[in-house]
């Protein structure tokens, strides 16, 4: 086995193991990785000796920090469209495959699970979080939009939580991830080696895999002591994020902030720090995704992703967060009222 491989796939005792193996890059995804995983899952789907699949990340920092956006930034002047089209097309195909996989898919969501990492886990059948899980759709921080099927799965969350998650890009812990329906089991991270060992030692058979997997994960499952921070502000989220425009959402938050609402003030400031273009496009994206099939949402997101490759704010966001890391992006347009309806619509123009 070559430790330098960015994805390590192994079959043992009926389990197809997929290890994301770029720990220095927080297992961020590139074309080779999504292509390897996609092809492997397709092979294992047809292999009767594979009863289940388990996906996890190498290193102590997390499953996956998302797509390798730095590579897209570096390709801005040379072949960005071809690479981006290949990356997003294969990544979304992979995520769709996981959503509809006919065999159990276990994903260990320890540490950082963001963006593309959420895409790998959200459609899996058995999603495990730990006390160190840090879950987010952080695309708004880099002038992008929440993709990997977010148009679909954010609309499945309680109340207007999906809209709130998309627009704020806030990071959430295990109790929140369970509350919003993005995870199924909580275990302590120290128990993962033992769980993995027991999974490896057992001979898994297709006819009994569902029952035996449920029993094994149930034996390691722990009750979570911390309450969900999202559940405690669900009423506030639903009140302020019910509106159909960013301006109305911010106005509602501002009104509450003026009367001493600390959460509203903090949330308003978070929104105002984001790209006005990303805010408006993302809100429209969530609205358009409501009631659509998963495939329709991925099709829309592919066009969005490719149109964002022509957007000033995407490159400025990546520069400020991942390249120069000064965290002072200069958005253009810089104000919400400067983002025209025509500009928002242009991001949804279909890309062949």
**Separation of alpha carbons 260 and 251, rounded Å:** 15
Placement of tokens 């009767």 in the chain: 48
185-223 per-residue burial string, b: 16 or more CB within 10 A, e: under 16? bbbebeebeebeeebeeeebeeeebeeebeebbeebeee
Annotated active-site residue 147? The verdict is yes
Of all helices (H) and strands (E), which one includes residue 166? helix 161-168
Among residues 14, 57, 66, 67, the one annotated as catalytic is 67
Residues 6+ apart with CB under 8 A from 197: none
Which among 91, 147, 301, 313 is annotated as catalytic?
A: 147
Tell me if residue 132 falls in helix, strand or coil.
coil
Check 68, 91, 95, 139 and give the catalytic one.
139
Specify whether 67 is catalytic. yes
Q: How far apart are CA 215 and CA 151, in angstroms?
A: 33
Give residues with Cβ within 8 angstroms of 266, minimum separation 6. Answer: none
Q: Which one is catalytic: 116, 117, 119, 317?
A: 116
What amino acid positions are annotated as catalytic residues? 67, 116, 139, 147
């Amino acid at each position: 086995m070559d430790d330098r491989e960015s994805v390590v796939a192994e079959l043992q005792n009926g389990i197809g193991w997929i290890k994301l193996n770029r720990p220095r890059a927080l297992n961020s995804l590139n074309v080779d990785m999504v292509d390897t995983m996609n092809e492997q899952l397709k092979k294992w789907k047809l292999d009767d000796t594979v009863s289940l699949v388990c996906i996890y990340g190498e290193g102590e920092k997390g499953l996956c920090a998302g797509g390798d956006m730095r590579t897209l930034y570096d390709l801005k002047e040379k072949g960005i469209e071809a690479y981006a089209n290949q990356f997003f097309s294969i990544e979304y195909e992979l995520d769709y495959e996981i959503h509809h996989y006919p065999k159990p898919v276990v994903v260990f969501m320890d540490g950082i699970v963001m963006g593309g990492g959420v895409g790998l886990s959200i459609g899996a059948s058995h999603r495990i979080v730990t006390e160190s899980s840090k879950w987010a759709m952080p695309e708004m921080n880099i002038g992008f939009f929440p993709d990997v099927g977010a148009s679909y799965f954010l609309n499945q969350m309680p109340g207007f939580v999906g809209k709130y998650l998309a627009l704020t890009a806030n990071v959430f812990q295990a109790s929140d991830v369970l509350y919003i329906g993005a995870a199924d089991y909580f275990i302590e991270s120290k128990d993962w080696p033992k769980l993995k060992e027991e999974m490896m030692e057992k001979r898994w058979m297709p006819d009994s895999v569902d029952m035996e997997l449920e029993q094994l994960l149930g034996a390691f499952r722990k009750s979570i002591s911390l309450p969900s921070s999202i559940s405690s502000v669900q009423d506030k989220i639903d009140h302020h994020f019910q509106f159909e425009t960013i301006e109305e959402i911010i106005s509602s938050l501002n009104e509450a902030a003026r009367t001493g609402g600390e959460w509203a003030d903090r949330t308003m400031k978070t929104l105002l720090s984001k790209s006005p273009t990303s805010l408006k496009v993302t809100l429209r994206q969530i609205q358009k995704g409501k009631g659509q099939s998963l495939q329709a949402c991925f099709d829309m997101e592919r066009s969005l992703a490719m149109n964002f490759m022509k957007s000033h704010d995407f490159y400025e966001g990546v520069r400020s967060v991942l390249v120069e890391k000064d965290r002072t992006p200069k958005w253009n347009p810089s104000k919400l009222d400067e983002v025209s309806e025509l500009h928002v619509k242009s991001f949804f123009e279909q890309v062949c």
